[in-house]
Amino acid sequence: MRLLLLAVLLLLGAGAGALVLRRRPRLADGVYVTLLLAGAAAGLSQAVVVLAGGAESVVAVAGTLPGGPWAFGLDPLSAWFILPILGVGACAGAFGVGYLGFERSHRPVAGTHALFVLLLVGLTGVVTAQAIVPFLAAWEIMAISAYLLVMHDHEDADVRRAGLIYIILTHLSTLALIGMFAALSVNATGHSFTELGLGNRTPGAARTVALGLALVGFGLKAGAVPLHFWLPGAHAAAPSHVSAVLSGVMLKVGIYGLFRVVSLVGAPPAWFGWALFGLGLVSGVLGVLWALAQHELKRLLAYHSVENIGIILLGMGVGVLGVAYGQPAVAVLGFTGALLHTLNHALFKSLLFLGAGAVLRATGRRMIDELGGLGRRMPWTAVAFGVGSVAIVGLPPLNGFVSEWTVFQGMLAAGASREPLRYAVVGAAGLGLIGALALACFTKLDGTLFLGHPRSPIAGRLPLRDPGTVMLGPMLALAGLCVAIGLLPAVVLRPARLILTELAIVPGSGALADTSWSADAMGVTVLGAGLVAAIVLLLLARRWLPAGGVARLAPTWSCAMAVSTSRMQYTASSYAAFLLGAFGPLAGTHVSRTADSFHTSVADPVQDGAVLPAWRMLGRTSVLLRGIQGGRLRWYLLLVIFTLLVLLLYLTKAGRAS
Amino acid sequence: MILGPLLTLLLVLAVAPALPGLATRTRALLTGRRGAPVLQLYRDLARLLRKNVVYSRTTTAVFRIGPMVVVATVVAAATLLPLDGHAALLSFRGDLVAFTGLLGLGRFALVLAGLDTGSSFEGMGASREVTVSVFAEPALFLCLTVLVLATGEISLAGMLGERLAAVWFGAAPSLVLAAAALFMLALAETSRVPVDDPATHLELTMIHEVIVLDHSGPELGMILFGNAVKLALFGALVTGVLLPLGLLPVWLAPLVLVAGLGVVAIGVGIVESSMARLRMNRVPQFLVAASALAVFGVILLLR
């Protein structure tokens, strides 16, 4: 715990350094990056020790503070979430120095750096708090620093609107959480998590309410459909390195909360599992479908976060169902898959957002239909982005496959068990659909950004090149981690199972003591290594062919079409049109077609179809109430007397009853 | 122990290029033509491997790596199937996800290689290919779900191995439905009628052929070989579900498998000669029908 405390101090020092030294940019950047990396290293080493089975510790700030002890602790679950917070946080923070460096000439950036570390500290606080009040305090630090970071480009009206929606929704989530903690406290003796857990081991009305509110509060934070609509706007509006942390890490705090609640209440009921499962399936399919309809780089990636949260919730749902129906082996697979996907998504999604940031900085264009052919001029960015794409689609041999494979195993094992848990096997077809849609979406993105010809005259004239080391380094580090976990899944499977043992999320030790999982992990390693070796061998063998080295270059043939211009290429719109058309109104796209152009625009079916109309309706009906605000004194007095009368009547009636 | 599966795998890889030829020959005979020899693809491959290659100036390394990934992934996927109904070269729990994932990686590489040329034809083919795959993927998982429910195993070697032979008669209706769905998927995944027409000469109606328009020489050969092996893999799935190969002795099973592959290829040819290619916007419906068959199989086992 001492190391983690040191990490927090170093992080705060990094922010303070950036602020104090803002007149000397070079020195400030150096101090900021050094302290940030040192702090992350300190915190990560502590987390790794705990995950390797080392002792966990709790620090209670003594004294009679309001709301019970301010306790912070690092158990394996907290340590697991510290990994993305500090790991991805350090990568994104370092990237941010290069990314914001371009803005230094016309805008102070020190404040953004300071807020960024404050966000990391808030996130660390949320996952280490062991009592209600420090949890909510850290939660607010996180929510508000994130809001200020989203508002970085506040000159833009769209950014201000996205920020407004975000701040309203994040406080709705806080409200739900306060309600949840209140319900949990009904039967508990104190405000620490241990006491809350002891008071809620048995089913009851208070516990049911608490679980329902946890779904709302943490579901909002995680961005599960239909509570996702704040997410794409906010994540697209923030600076790219902040988007990386918001999408890759901050959403996971919702997942952390759900895991924490599950660990507190012992065996959660089956309806909770089916609710998570259903939310996961809906979020997964709709998230990726709506992502496919997007043509703005960062909004597309943000919708993919909704999809991946769906996959995590599917895994959690299978886990809870496994516990509820007494199938610990299924539960272990589901929970492990959810934990692994939490980490893996943090890695590849932040990688993709950083890649998007590099593209944005180089081109200044958000709409992917204006880009194309970047792969030739920004090869390293293209490679890193490509690794992230293969990982997010869940294809072997990268890390996305490892976690989706584990979730799949959970669902298939559920199918091989008894009723009614067997019905969870339908999730496999759903997850298959999600994977295929993700493949369509990322071939669209990679193909439109990096391959072919530039799709607009401007993009063809831009002087493009890969970003410098400070931006490229973090991307390549994240890509390396994606490959490493994909090839050696045992490294992350072992600590994930330790969490389930230590927190007693899965009752009984039989399923967790079973070590046959390591043979499965070895199978994945062999398959991945074999695949890579086969591709390399084939590429080498290609040179030994009789005509191996001889190649002629020519323009693209495409059946000898005489005139071929870059405008005749498929765009992201036309690429996705056939598929979106097959899904009809579910995709929320609007097609505009003229003789020489084809474009699809897209609206979020929840936000633009339900929430905003309801909001406007509320505004219209409120007009009816305006009559009583006429500004006449006697009218107001009458209202006051009327209210008093009603209250008096109520009191006399209540008094008689008691 | 490992020798048997390895020899079966090599046998399947060796006979795979004959399957498209067999299908095309069947179609030709049934429509009153003589048709190309069954072994034509072997000659084509041998010729393509000797040829020089022309690359488009627009392309990058993605275009060159794509075909290699296609071949590597289908061969890696083949190592996961218990081809002779006894054992697979590599098996772990949940390996069916790796099987579909590998086919997905091959598709990812092929589609990007097509988009790399910057041609509108290739873009069109890529768009269609991923659309077809979106509808094929859930159907494939539903077919595999039937096997999971029937056998209680979650690895391919388990669900298609000796355990399947033991429960085959009890679950026969579901398994037949799954095999029918798998056959429909084989048509879609390997670009045969009624989803795609390998013999068409009009780019606007193509799916697979139009993605590979710019590939030439050894790269084109790789893609043709990869597609043939893919047909063999789906043929092996259909055969494995319909015939419990695990009941046969180890030396006989591979021969029965090859015979089964031949029957599947002839079946493909019969379908091709008896119906036309579907209109492009009907293709999703065809695949949803395959899903529906598999769903019936699932329901029969869940009741």
- Whether the CB of B286 is below 8 Å from some CB of chain A: the reply is no
For residue A529, what is the enclosing H or E element? helix A517-544
Question: For residue A463, what pLDDT is reported?
Answer: 78
CA dist., res. B99 & res. A402, Å (int): 13
Mean pLDDT of the A181-202 span: 88
pLDDT at A451 over 70: yes
Average pLDDT, chain A: 91
* Residue given tokens 């999809």 in the structure block: A307
What's the gap in Å between the CA of A91 and the closest CA on chain B?
27
- Strand-pair partners of A367: A296
How do residues A352-389 score in pLDDT, each as one tens digit?
999 999 999 999 889 998 898 899 999 999 999 999 99
pLDDT at B106 over 70: yes
Q: List the single residue in B49, B50, B93 with the smallest CB-CB distance to A409.
A: B93
CB A437 within 8 A of CB A580: no
| Phi, psi for A552 (deg, rounded to 5) | -105, 145
Q: Which of residues 63-102 of B touch A (CB under 8 A)?
A: 64-65, 68-69, 71-73, 75-76, 79-80, 90-98, 100-102
How do residues B198-241 score in pLDDT, each as one tens digit?
887 787 888 888 899 899 999 999 999 999 999 999 999 999 99
Mean pLDDT of the B38-53 span: 93
CB A302 within 8 A of CB A330: no
pLDDT at B267 over 70: yes
Q: What is the DSSP string of A505-517?
A: SS-SSHHHH--TH
Question: For residue A599, what pLDDT is reported?
Answer: 72
pLDDT at A63 over 80: no
What's the gap in Å between the CA of B153 and the closest CA on chain A?
7
- Report the residue of chain B nearest A517, measured CA to CA: B93
Structure-derived torsion over alpha carbons of residues A121, A125, A128, A131, reported in degrees to the nearest 10: 170
- Whether the CB of B30 is below 8 Å from some CB of chain A: the reply is no
Q: How confident is the model at residue A188 (pLDDT cuts 50, 70, 90)?
A: confident
- Whether the CB of A195 is below 8 Å from some CB of chain B: the reply is no
pLDDT at A658 over 60: no
Please compute Rg for chain A using Cα positions.
Answer: 26
CB A320 within 8 A of CB A262: yes
Q: Which residue did the predictor score with more confidence, A353 or B118?
A: A353
Chain B residues with CB-CB distance to A453 below 8 A: 58, 118
Best residue in A417, A556, A566 for a mutation probing chain B (most B CBs within 10 Å): A556
Helix and strand tally (H, E) in chain A? 26, 5
Q: Which residue did the predictor score with more confidence, A380 or A654?
A: A380
Q: List the single residue in B128, B137, B148 with the smallest CB-CB distance to A578.
A: B128
Q: Which of residues 237-256 of B touch A (CB under 8 A)?
A: none
Chain A residues with CB-CB distance to B111 below 8 A: 443, 447
- Report the residue of chain A nearest B121, measured CA to CA: A558
Q: List the single residue in A405, A436, A542 with the smallest CB-CB distance to B94.
A: A405
CB A140 within 8 A of CB A174: yes
- Whether the CB of B227 is below 8 Å from some CB of chain A: the reply is no
Interchain proximity A556–B68, CB inside 8 Å: no
Q: Which of residues 8-47 of A touch B (CB under 8 A)?
A: none
Q: How confident is the model at residue A62 (pLDDT cuts 50, 70, 90)?
A: low
- Whether the CB of A586 is below 8 Å from some CB of chain B: the reply is no
pLDDT at B9 over 70: yes
* Residue given tokens 């050969």 in the structure block: B221
Q: How confident is the model at residue A22 (pLDDT cuts 50, 70, 90)?
A: confident
CB A305 within 8 A of CB A295: no
Q: List the single residue in B121, B127, B138 with the smallest CB-CB distance to A575.
A: B127
pLDDT at A16 over 80: yes
Q: Which residues contact A463 (CB under 8 A, 6 or more apart)?
A: none
* Residue B157, CA distances (Å) to A642, B147, B174, B237 in order: 79, 11, 19, 11
Q: How confident is the model at residue A653 (pLDDT cuts 50, 70, 90)?
A: confident
Q: Which residue did the predictor score with more confidence, B256 or B1?
A: B256
Chain A residues with CB-CB distance to B134 below 8 A: 433, 436-437, 440, 579, 582
Closest among A353, A362, A266, A256 to A302, alpha carbons compared: A353
The residue ranges of DSSP E strands in B106-255, in sequence order, are none
Question: For residue B219, what pLDDT is reported?
Answer: 93
Question: For residue A2, what pLDDT is reported?
Answer: 83
Burial code (b: 16+ CB inside 10 Å, e: under 16) for A173-194 equals bbebbebbbebbbebbebbbbb
- What's this model's pTM, rounded to 2 decimal places? 0.95
Interchain proximity B148–A425, CB inside 8 Å: yes
Mean pLDDT of the B264-272 span: 96
Q: Name the residue ranges covered by the structural domains of chain B.
A: 3-302
CA dist., res. A227 & res. A287, Å (int): 11
Question: For residue A656, what pLDDT is reported?
Answer: 67
CB A525 within 8 A of CB B89: no
- Whether the CB of A432 is below 8 Å from some CB of chain B: the reply is yes
pLDDT at A548 over 70: no
CA geometry: angle at A42 spanning A38 and A45, to 5°?
Answer: 135
- Whether the CB of B136 is below 8 Å from some CB of chain A: the reply is yes
Say whether A434 sits in a helix, a strand or coil.
helix
Interchain proximity B52–A547, CB inside 8 Å: yes
CB B48 within 8 A of CB B124: no
Q: Which residue did the predictor score with more confidence, A36 or A626?
A: A36
CB burial class (10 A; 0-12, 13-18, 19+) of residue A115?
buried
Q: Which of residues 498-557 of A touch B (CB under 8 A)?
A: 516, 519-520, 522-524, 526-527, 530-531, 534-535, 538-539, 542, 545-547, 550-557
Within 10 Å of residue A22's Cβ, how many Cβ atoms? Answer: 17
CA dist., res. B128 & res. B211, Å (int): 10
Q: Which of residues 390-409 of A touch B (CB under 8 A)?
A: 390, 393-396, 401, 404-406, 408-409
pLDDT at A342 over 70: yes
Q: List the single residue in A436, A437, A555 with the smallest CB-CB distance to B56.
A: A555
- Whether the CB of B130 is below 8 Å from some CB of chain A: the reply is yes
Chain B residues with CB-CB distance to A558 below 8 A: 117, 119-122, 213-214
